[in-house]
């Protein structure tokens, strides 16, 4: 008891005392103390409360980081580190030497890092409960503290003074100094976020700047969880973050992340009621800048994402490659995207204009990469002029303006405020060789580029060039023919970059179609392994009941599916179209379907379910409004929403409606006679529009809210069998809590339950034209527009 009492008292003192006094430190590490970096040996020094620890964190096989981290949460959260550039090998030792140095040496005794001073000034070291590690001198004053040498994170109680700053790490799990820096600038008296001239330490240009604070100002993260800029005289000039819950119940940190965003995160300390519905994970409460994709526009450098990619805000910041391009290194998206096809020939005599086409992206731009501008022109003119110019990789068309862009594209962004559209030039695939590993082909096209630029004025030399070109390509195609015999199957389809598999390859990959993952009316899905593709797991969908004579249609539909690119859609990797065999190859979703997730034995958390609801809505919105050809899913249900490793929801089976005899789905369901996910217009002679998906989404959303199937014969009583009807009754009787009866998290969030049920009731409106669009649905769910009072009884049993 006495021990415990003292402990609390000390904690109390530590929190309230000014930083410079550490006399009350509970735990001392005396001179001669040391730690050794070893695998499976968690050697560290914890703070008295145990909240923080100082010691070694293993980053790679033989590489350790000397670091400070949150020690009571399962997620590795490093808040300070000494040697991000220079990992310590196994056996390295951090020691508080007898002469007062704090030394990190590798096993052979070479210095990796050091702190403190010689001359015996240090008397002991301590890991404080604030997360500050201090070396204390004879006079009980700190000689050195980690708070004075921040890495990329600041903690409550920490103050950054002018001329100091923090540097983002290179990647989430690579702790080298990265591409962004936060600076308390003395010249301007402002706090700035800068891009760095990676890999050098110099700064590029600021992308966020605070109000002017003046000289000798500081950035304060105080014990109440406020982050603000304070002038020398003590007045607060600008509050950076103020919406955090109490530091008493939440761990907190503010970090300049590897993506350039400065975020304030909180993490509930206990499951107690004071932390309410917060997820047991780091949640961001505020961040700057509000839209990094739009903020970073630099003359040199790639922008917020890598070259040839574009940046968009979806839960934080994401980088994507445009169609026809892929990441150079998927593990490091900032390295940018490469073209997946051979560039257009610049040879005057064969400009290949008929072999190229455009992929359209609304609201997308790569500012500052343009080399020609025309105005006023029509879109068609813009397309033609870009198509006829081998340098033109992308044309931007906006309000009669046409900009030609060359590679590499920089500062890419997709944002509703951009306007206009990007026309991305891609090679029609039946005209190209497989570009991967085709170095000879590349040299070949380079030769032509150089050649035609230098020589195009001379007819004679042009002729010569044509002869050379002919000879080179003849040699090339002769060589190539051997390869293509072996690799006949790796052909690529028009306008997309999909692999075409042979049936044999897929039979092999699935071990003879052995491991069945699922089965629907029109298909069976098998698990497989694709050797060579990082030995990735794949899902192979074998379609049956194909409409006959649909060779062309199959290609068109597969091509439409392949042109989609959204994080909430399952990615199509390839296909097989061989005789009667039609198969589609998808990325493997390790967490299975939403159906098993929702209706399994353990109810997923309310927060997780809400995320899935939003993600599914986003995927559907993309299919309806944002991809190049509108796709009506026609079969939205929990079996068709899959979850990946991190539980991100992805819609599957989109684009199959036209391939399969989905128009019969109505009869099928009618026979079952249940009110499922199927909109009433399927049963009537009415046109099928995107609103059928909105209807099904409404039912799905209700299932997500209630964790219950839309139709349940075993329901307590008859009025509860059809979930939509029951929800409507509950809504009218103002008893929505019945819908989420045993779900404490949902009961604590009844405002949202009510709002979402109202959205559901709009989605299942009998009249398709009264149903909201998916865009409206998402806006209502996200709270950017109000939900109007729901209509009268939704289409119900009357529909049958």
Ligand X SMILES: *[C@@H]1O[C@H](CO)[C@@H](O)[C@H](O)[C@H]1NC(C)=O
Q: Which residues are catalytic?
A: 635
Print burial letters for 227-247: b (CB count within 10 Å at least 16), e (below 16): bbbbbeeeeebbebbeebbeb
**Position 214 contacts ligand X (CB under 6 A):** yes
Residues 369 and 422 sit within 8 Å (Cβ to Cβ): no
- Write down the least CB distance from residue 248 to ligand X, Å: 11
Query: Judged by CB, which is closer to ligand X: 428, or 603?
Result: 428
Which range binds ligand X by CB under 6 A, 226-234, 451-459, 578-586, 658-666?
A: 226-234
- Write down the least CB distance from residue 446 to ligand X, Å: 8
- Write down the least CB distance from residue 223 to ligand X, Å: 4
* DSSP E strand boundaries for 82-217: 93-96, 101-105, 111-116, 122-127, 133-137, 142-145, 153-154, 159-161, 165-171, 174-185, 190-196, 203-209
Structure-token match 């979930």, residue found: 723
Which one of residues 149, 186, 224, 477 is an interface residue with ligand X (CB under 6 A)?
224
Segment 113 to 142, residues that bind ligand X, using CB under 6 A: 123-124
Site track for ligand X across 25-64, x = CB under 6 A: x--x-x----xx-x--x-x---------------xx----
Query: Judged by CB, which is closer to ligand X: 217, or 726?
Result: 217
* Tokens read off for 675: 């009110």
Q: Is 413 exposed, middle or buried (0-12, 13-18, 19+ CB in 10 A)?
A: buried
Which one of residues 70, 194, 226, 597 is an interface residue with ligand X (CB under 6 A)?
226
Q: How many residues does the chain have?
A: 800
- Write down the least CB distance from residue 598 to ligand X, Å: 19
What angle, rounded to 10 degrees, do the helices at 774-782 and 750-763 form?
A: 170
Which of 653, 646, 762 lies closest to 697 in space, CA to CA? 762
Query: Judged by CB, which is closer to ligand X: 10, or 466?
Result: 10
- Write down the least CB distance from residue 652 to ligand X, Å: 25
Query: Judged by CB, which is closer to ligand X: 487, or 732?
Result: 487
Map 224-274 to HEC letters: CCCEEEECCCCCEEEEEECCCCCCCCEEEEEEECCCCCEEEEEEECCCCHH
446 annotated binding-site participant: no
**Position 730 contacts ligand X (CB under 6 A):** no
Measured CA to CA, the distance from residue 145 to residue 130 in angstroms comes to: 12
Which of 392, 407, 439 lies closest to 338 in space, CA to CA? 407
The sheet carrying 111-116 orders its strands as 34-36, 93-96, 101-105, 111-116
Site track for ligand X across 406-445, x = CB under 6 A: ----------------------x-xx-------xx--x--
Question: Could you tell me the maximum CA-CA distance found in the chain, to the nearest angstrom?
Answer: 99
- Write down the least CB distance from residue 55 to ligand X, Å: 9
Measured CA to CA, the distance from residue 540 to residue 627 in angstroms comes to: 24
* Tokens read off for 464: 């010569």
Which of 26, 20, 12 lies closest to 145 in space, CA to CA? 20
Segment 335 to 394, residues that bind ligand X, using CB under 6 A: none
**DSSP 8-state class, residue 483:** H
Measured CA to CA, the distance from residue 624 to residue 779 in angstroms comes to: 15
* Tokens read off for 134: 């201090």
Helix (H) or strand (E) holding 598: helix 594-599
Query: Judged by CB, which is closer to ligand X: 198, or 391?
Result: 198
Site track for ligand X across 476-495, x = CB under 6 A: -------x--xx--x---x-
Site track for ligand X across 74-113, x = CB under 6 A: ----------------------------------------
Query: Judged by CB, which is closer to ligand X: 86, or 590?
Result: 86
Which one of residues 170, 250, 251, 258 is an interface residue with ligand X (CB under 6 A)?
170
Structure-token match 């990329």, residue found: 152
- Write down the least CB distance from residue 84 to ligand X, Å: 8
Query: Judged by CB, which is closer to ligand X: 428, or 591?
Result: 428
Which one of residues 90, 114, 223, 689 is an interface residue with ligand X (CB under 6 A)?
223
Q: Which residues pair with 202 in a beta bridge?
A: none
The sheet carrying 174-185 orders its strands as 165-171, 174-185, 190-196, 203-209
Residues 402 and 396 sit within 8 Å (Cβ to Cβ): yes
Print burial letters for 367-395: b (CB count within 10 Å at least 16), e (below 16): bebbeeeeeeeebeebbebbbebbbbbbb
* Tokens read off for 332: 């490091």
Residues 267 and 282 sit within 8 Å (Cβ to Cβ): yes
Cα dihedral across residues 76, 81, 87, 92: positive or negative: negative
- Write down the least CB distance from residue 116 to ligand X, Å: 15
**Position 270 contacts ligand X (CB under 6 A):** yes
Residues 304 and 296 sit within 8 Å (Cβ to Cβ): yes
**Position 468 contacts ligand X (CB under 6 A):** no
- Write down the least CB distance from residue 553 to ligand X, Å: 13
Q: Which residues pair with 402 in a beta bridge?
A: 374, 397
**Position 767 contacts ligand X (CB under 6 A):** no
Q: Which residues are within 8 A (CB) of 477 and not within 5 positions of it... i.e. 6 or more apart?
A: none
Query: Judged by CB, which is closer to ligand X: 241, or 795?
Result: 241
Segment 228 to 247, residues that bind ligand X, using CB under 6 A: 231, 233, 235-236
Total of chain residues touching ligand X, rule CB under 6 A: 40
Query: How many CA atoms within 13 Å lie on the side-chain side of 50?
Result: 5
* Tokens read off for 662: 């989905």
Structure-token match 């989420």, residue found: 740
Query: Judged by CB, which is closer to ligand X: 233, or 478?
Result: 233
- Write down the least CB distance from residue 704 to ligand X, Å: 20
Site track for ligand X across 505-534, x = CB under 6 A: x--x--------------------------
Query: Judged by CB, which is closer to ligand X: 233, or 798?
Result: 233
Q: Is 305 exposed, middle or buried (0-12, 13-18, 19+ CB in 10 A)?
A: buried
Query: Judged by CB, which is closer to ligand X: 214, or 245?
Result: 214
Residues 241 and 210 sit within 8 Å (Cβ to Cβ): no
Which range binds ligand X by CB under 6 A, 170-178, 299-307, 338-346, 394-402?
A: 170-178
Which range binds ligand X by CB under 6 A, 45-53, 225-233, 359-367, 459-467?
A: 225-233
SS3 482: helix
- Write down the least CB distance from residue 20 to ligand X, Å: 16
* Tokens read off for 162: 């002018």
Which one of residues 172, 329, 504, 786 is an interface residue with ligand X (CB under 6 A)?
504
- Write down the least CB distance from residue 430 to ligand X, Å: 4
Query: Judged by CB, which is closer to ligand X: 124, or 262?
Result: 124
Segment 590 to 649, residues that bind ligand X, using CB under 6 A: none
Q: DSSP H helical segments within 118-210, as ranges?
A: none
Work out the angle at residue 647's Cα, subtended by the Cα atoms of residues 644 and 648, and round it to the nearest 5 degrees.
Answer: 75
Specify binding-site residues.
542
Which residues here bind ligand X, judged by CB under 6 A? 25, 28, 30, 35-36, 38, 41, 43, 59-60, 123-124, 170, 174, 176, 214, 222-224, 226, 231, 233, 235-236, 270-271, 428, 430-431, 439-440, 443, 483, 486-487, 490, 494, 504-505, 508
Specify binding-site residues for ATP.
542
């Amino acid at each position: 008891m006495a021990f415990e009492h003292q402990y609390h008292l000390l904690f109390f003192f530590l929190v309230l005392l000014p930083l410079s006094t550490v006399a009350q430190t509970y735990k001392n590490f005396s001179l001669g103390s040391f730690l050794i970096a070893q695998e499976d040996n968690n050697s560290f020094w914890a703070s008295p409360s145990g909240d923080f620890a100082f010691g070694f964190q293993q980053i790679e096989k033989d590489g350790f980081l000397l670091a400070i981290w949150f020690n009571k949460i399962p997620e590795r959260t490093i808040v300070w580190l000494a040697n991000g550039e220079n990992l310590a090998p196994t056996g390295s030792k951090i020691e508080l030497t007898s002469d007062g140095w704090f030394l990190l040496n590798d096993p052979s005794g070479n210095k990796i890092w050091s702190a403190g001073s010689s001359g015996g000034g240090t008397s002991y070291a301590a890991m404080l409960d604030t997360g500050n590690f201090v070396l204390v001198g004879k006079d009980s004053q700190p000689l050195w503290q980690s708070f004075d040498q921040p890495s990329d994170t600041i903690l409550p109680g920490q103050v950054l003074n002018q001329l100091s700053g923090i540097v983002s790490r290179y990647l989430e799990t690579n702790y080298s100094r990265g591409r962004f820096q936060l600076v308390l600038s003395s010249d301007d008296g402002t706090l700035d976020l800068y891009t760095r001239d990676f890999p050098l330490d110099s700064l590029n240009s600021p992308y966020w700047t605070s109000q002017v604070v003046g000289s000798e100002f500081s950035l304060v993260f105080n014990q109440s969880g406020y982050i603000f800029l304070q002038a020398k005289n003590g007045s607060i000039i600008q509050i950076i973050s103020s919406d955090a819950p109490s530091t008493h119940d939440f761990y907190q940190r503010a970090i300049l992340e590897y993506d350039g965003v400065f975020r304030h995160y909180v993490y509930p300390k206990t499951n107690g009621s004071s932390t309410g519905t917060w997820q047991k994970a780091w949640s961001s409460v505020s961040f700057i800048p509000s839209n990094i994709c739009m903020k970073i526009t630099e003359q040199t450098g790639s922008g917020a994402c890598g070259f040839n990619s574009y940046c968009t805000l979806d839960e934080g910041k994401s980088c994507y490659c445009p169609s026809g391009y892929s990441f150079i290194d998927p593990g490091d998206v900032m390295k940018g995207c490469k073209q997946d096809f051979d560039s257009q020939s610049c040879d005057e005599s064969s400009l290949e204009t008929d072999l190229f086409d455009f992929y359209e992206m609304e609201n997308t731009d790569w500012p500052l990469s343009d080399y020609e501008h025309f105005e006023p022109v029509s879109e068609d003119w813009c397309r033609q002029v870009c198509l006829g110019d081998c340098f033109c990789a992308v044309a931007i068309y906006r309000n009669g303006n046409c900009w030609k862009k060359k590679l590499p594209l920089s500062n890419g962004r997709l944002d509703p405020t951009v306007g206009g559209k990007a026309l991305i030039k891609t090679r029609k695939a039946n005209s190209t060789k497989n570009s991967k590993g085709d170095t000879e082909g590349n040299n070949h096209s380079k030769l032509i580029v150089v050649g035609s630029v230098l020589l195009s004025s001379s007819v004679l030399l042009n002729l010569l060039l044509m002869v050379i070109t002919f000879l080179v390509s003849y040699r090339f195609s002769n060589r190539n023919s051997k390869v293509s015999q072996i690799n006949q199957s790796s052909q690529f389809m028009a306008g997309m970059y999909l692999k075409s598999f042979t049936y044999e390859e897929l039979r092999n990959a699935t071990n003879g179609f052995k491991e069945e993952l699922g089965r629907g009316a029109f298909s069976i899905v098998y698990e497989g392994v694709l050797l060579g593709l990082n030995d990735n797991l794949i899902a192979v969908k074998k379609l049956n009941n194909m409409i006959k004579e649909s060779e062309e249609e199959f290609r068109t539909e597969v091509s439409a599916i392949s042109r989609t690119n959204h994080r909430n859609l399952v990615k199509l990797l390839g296909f097989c179209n061989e005789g009667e065999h039609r198969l589609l190859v998808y990325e493997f979703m390790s967490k299975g379907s939403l159906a098993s997730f929702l209706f399994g034995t353990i109810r997923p958390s309310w927060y997780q379910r809400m995320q899935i609801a939003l993600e599914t809505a986003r995927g559907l919105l993309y299919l309806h409004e944002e991809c190049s050809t509108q796709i009506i899913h026609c079969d939205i249900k929990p079996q068709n929403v899959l979850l990946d490793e991190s539980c991100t929801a992805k819609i599957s089976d989109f684009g199959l409606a036209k391939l399969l005899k989905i128009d019969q789905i109505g009869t099928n369901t009618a026979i079952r006679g249940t009110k499922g996910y199927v909109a009433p217009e399927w049963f009537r002679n009415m046109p099928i529009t995107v609103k059928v998906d909105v209807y099904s989404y409404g039912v799905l959303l209700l299932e997500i809210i209630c964790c219950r199937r839309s139709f349940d014969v075993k329901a307590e009583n008859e009025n509860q069998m059809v979930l939509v009807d029951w929800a409507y009754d509950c809504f009218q009787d103002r008893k929505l809590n019945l819908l989420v009866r045993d779900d404490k998290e949902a009961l604590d969030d009844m405002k949202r339950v009510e709002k979402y049920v109202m959205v559901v009731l709009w989605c299942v409106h009998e009249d398709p034209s009264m149903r909201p669009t998916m865009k409206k649905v998402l806006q209502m769910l996200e709270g950017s527009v109000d939900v109007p009072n729901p209509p009268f009884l939704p289409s119900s049993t009357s529909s049958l």
